[in-house]
């Protein structure tokens, strides 16, 4: 079953055109299923780290890609939350949504240095979108897409895909609704390279240590934002295609 699931995962990776999150997910699935086949224990953070190193060895320049950085940061945060924190809520339904809210807020806080360094635009109400979008994608859109593959040989997939399309349209409506809330998106100052490196060190201490070093990590993380005052604004900036530029007067 694990071997067949690996083949199915690889086919799905190719259908998705192999974006970074899909590569990460496939490599993690590969590590987990190999561990299952060999009857070995699975350490979630080691699986994530092995997948990250495999992608870096294939293309070292990928470490500068913001999508790569945020994708792996997100799964490391997920692993830490599920390893270290237990939700003591009896209702599974309520616990599910509490987990979405907590994980979204924690991700937003920890990813802030990456946003300030690479994007500069903070989506303030991301957790609201996640409360609605994650269940819609998990329990409606993705299952319908999966079901359509089994119906394609029978030429019966049309109505399932039309229903899936309605789910995607609702997903867009959720995103647009949250984006239209006042102050949903904030332009943020740029964090210096020194502050960014300091925050990465701090995040590593927070995510990978359970001792007092985690508290040191929190202190360093907060300190990294103090470097915002010392960041020198550029005199001249270009867009990536060098078609537009701005100068500071």
Bridge-partner residues for 232, per DSSP? none
227 neighbors 194 (Cβ within 8 angstroms): yes
Mean pLDDT value across residues 87-114: 83
pTM: 0.75
Please tell me the predicted confidence (pLDDT) of residue 164: 95
Mean pLDDT of 7-28: 87
Q: How confident is the model at residue 194 (pLDDT cuts 50, 70, 90)?
A: confident
**238 — pLDDT class (breaks 50, 70, 90):** confident
Structure confidence at residue 182 (pLDDT): 87
d(CA 48, CA 72): 7
Q: Is the pLDDT of residue 10 over 80?
A: yes
| Predicted pLDDT of residue 236 | 85
User: With the C-alpha atoms ordered 18, 20, 26, 31, is the resulting torsion angle positive or negative?
Assistant: positive
Residue with tokens 């060190």: 201
60 pLDDT tier (thresholds 50, 70, 90): very high
- Which pLDDT does position 219 carry in this prediction? 92
Coil vs helix vs strand at 122: strand
pLDDT grade, residue 129 (50/70/90)? Answer: confident
List, in sequence order, every residue forming a beta bridge with 10; answer none if it has no partner.
none
Our CA dihedral for 94, 100, 103, 106, rounded to 10 degrees, sits at -100
pLDDT category of residue 165 using cuts at 50, 70 and 90: very high
Average pLDDT over residues 195-218: 89
Q: Using pLDDT thresholds of 50, 70 and 90, give the confidence band for residue 192.
A: confident
**Any residues with CB less than 8 A from the CB of 63 and at least 6 apart, and which?**
56, 69
What pLDDT was estimated at residue 246? 87
The mean of the pLDDT values for the chain is: 87
CB neighbour list of residue 240: distance below 8 Å, 6 or more residues apart: none
Buried b (16+ CB within 10 A) or exposed e, 63-88: eeeeebbbbbbbbbbbbbbeeeeeee
Residue with structure tokens 């998106």?
Answer: 185
Kindly report, residue by residue over 208-218, the tens digit of the pLDDT. Answer: 887 888 889 99
């Amino acid at each position: 079953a694990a071997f067949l699931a690996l083949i199915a995962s690889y086919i799905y990776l190719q259908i998705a055109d192999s974006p970074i999150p899909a590569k990460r997910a496939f490599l993690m699935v590969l590590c987990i299923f190999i561990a299952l086949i060999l009857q070995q224990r699975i350490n979630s953070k080691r699986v994530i780290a092995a997948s990250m190193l495999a992608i870096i060895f294939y293309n070292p320049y990928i470490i500068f890609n913001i999508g790569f950085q945020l994708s792996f940061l997100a799964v490391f945060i997920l692993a830490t939350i599920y390893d270290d924190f237990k939700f003591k809520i009896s209702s599974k339904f309520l616990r599910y949504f509490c987990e979405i809210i907590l994980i979204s807020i924690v991700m937003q806080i920890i990813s802030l240095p990456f946003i300030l360094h690479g994007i500069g635009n903070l989506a303030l109400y991301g957790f609201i979108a996640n409360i609605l979008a994650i269940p819609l994608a998990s329990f409606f859109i993705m299952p319908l897409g999966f079901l359509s593959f089994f119906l394609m040989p029978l030429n019966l997939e049309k109505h399932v895909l039309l229903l899936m399309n309605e789910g995607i349209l609702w997903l867009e409506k959720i995103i647009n609704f949250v984006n239209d809330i006042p102050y949903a998106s904030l332009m943020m100052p740029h964090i210096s390279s020194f502050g960014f490196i300091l925050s990465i060190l701090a995040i590593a201490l927070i995510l990978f240590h359970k001792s007092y070093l985690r508290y040191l990590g929190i202190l360093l993380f907060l300190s990294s934002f103090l470097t915002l005052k010392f960041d020198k604004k550029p005199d001249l900036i270009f867009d990536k295609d060098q078609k537009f530029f701005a100068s500071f007067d």
